Amino acid sequence: MTRIATKDEWTQIADLTKTAYGEYAKDADPDFWAMYESRTRDLLLNDESLIRFIVLDGDVIAASAIYVPPNKNKYPEMRLLSVHQDYRNKGLANKLIEACERRAKDDGFDFMTLHTTSLMTTAKAMYERRGYERFEELDFKPVPSFTVWGYIKKL
């Protein structure tokens, strides 16, 4: 079942996100990674403006993704797509991408954006197969030597 998480599930989402993204830690600068994890956890535990979609297997949160409504940004954004290792390659990421895109449409937006990086090869290929295209306007550099790539899709 895919639905929006309740507040008592926010900690589980933060834990799942930390574990799912943990596979990229070995390629990152340790200080940068510690800061990234801490900021992400803070966001997931506290930001009331985020819509947290989850996929449940019974009581277990198998996957999560964040829909960020365009408060400060021009476009809605999907962030922190995370699938538990035991539930990968079963189409759960796809369900969450669809949930975020549907929400954006229902909110009256015609575009969805996201960020990914050269390290996230499975995710990057998956987004491109679903019609996401590079959108340099949203690129940023968390450290001078590394670019985070912006992507956009017309819904």
Ligand X SMILES: CC(C)(COP(=O)(O)OP(=O)(O)OC[C@H]1O[C@@H](n2cnc3c(N)ncnc32)[C@H](O)[C@@H]1OP(=O)(O)O)[C@@H](O)C(=O)NCCC(=O)NCCS
Which residues contact ligand X (rule: CB under 6 A)? 20-21, 81-83, 88-94, 116, 120, 122-123, 126, 129
**Which residue number has the CB closest to ligand X?**
93
Q: How far is the CB of 105 from ligand X (least distance, A)?
A: 20
Q: Which is nearer to ligand X, 2 or 109 (CB)?
A: 2
Minimum CB separation of residue 108 from ligand X in Å reads: 25
Please report how close the Cβ of residue 18 comes to ligand X at its closest, in angstroms: 11
Answer yes or no: are the C-beta atoms of 103 and 67 closer than 8 Å: yes
Which tokens hold the place of 41?
């956890």
Nearer to ligand X, 93 or 103 (CB): 93
Residue by residue, what is the 3-state secondary structure of 38-102?
HHHHHHHHHCCCCEEEEEEECCEEEEEEEEECCCCCCCCEEEEEEECHHHCCCCHHHHHHHHHHH
Kindly tell me which of 51 and 88 has the beta carbon lying closer to ligand X: 88
